[in-house]
Amino acid sequence: MQIEHSVFIKRPLAEVEAYLTDISNDSEWQEDVMESAITTEGGIGEGTAGYEVRSVMGFPMRTEWIVTGHNPGKSYTFASRESIIPYEGTVEFSAESGGTRVAYRFTMKPEGVLGVLDPLIAFAFTPRFRENLENLRALLESRA
């Protein structure tokens, strides 16, 4: 299952990127994130590892992830290391007149019994995914 969504934020690219790559902000703009942290030294870059605890249908679900690629000012990619449902994603930044476009792609790869539930998983995650990006837009624009 793949989810894609983009949002235009009326803030400079450097500010948007700095906010998104500071993992401690995840619980501010993602309503379902309860806790998140980087577990390696330094900031975001290829090889950076971390975790998050997310409320999924009312239950806490911990996943561990790693940054698989980082192109400062342009994009970063990530993938799960330990998760009930394996996933990978890409966040791309592009400057546009008056702000920044953030394009987010997230692919979940349910296996076994969870693979059968893929349509239900998509139904549950897709609206939340879009709401979270709209929360990000509203939050950053309110700081102007």
pTM: 0.87
Lay out the sheet containing 2-9: strands in order across.
2-9, 99-108, 87-96, 75-82, 59-71, 49-56, 33-38
- In this prediction, residue 78 carries a pLDDT of 96
Helices (H), the chain: 13-20, 26-29, 113-116, 118-142
Mean pLDDT of 27-34: 93
pLDDT tens digits, 68-117: 999 999 999 999 998 878 899 999 999 999 999 999 998 877 676 666 66
Mean pLDDT of 42-46: 89
pLDDT tens digits, 45-57: 999 999 999 987 7
Percentage of the chain modeled with pLDDT above 90: 66
pLDDT band at 121 (very low <50, low <70, confident <90, very high): low
Averaged pLDDT of the chain = 89
| CATH placement of domain 2-142 | 3.30.530.20
**Residue 119 tokens, joined:** 């349509």
8 Å CB contact between 62 and 52 = yes
- In this prediction, residue 125 carries a pLDDT of 72
Structural domain boundaries in the chain? 2-142
- In this prediction, residue 17 carries a pLDDT of 96
Q: Give the alpha-carbon dihedral of 109, 67, 134, 98, to 10 degrees.
A: -140
pLDDT band at 122 (very low <50, low <70, confident <90, very high): low
* Residue 118: Cβ within 10 Å count: 14
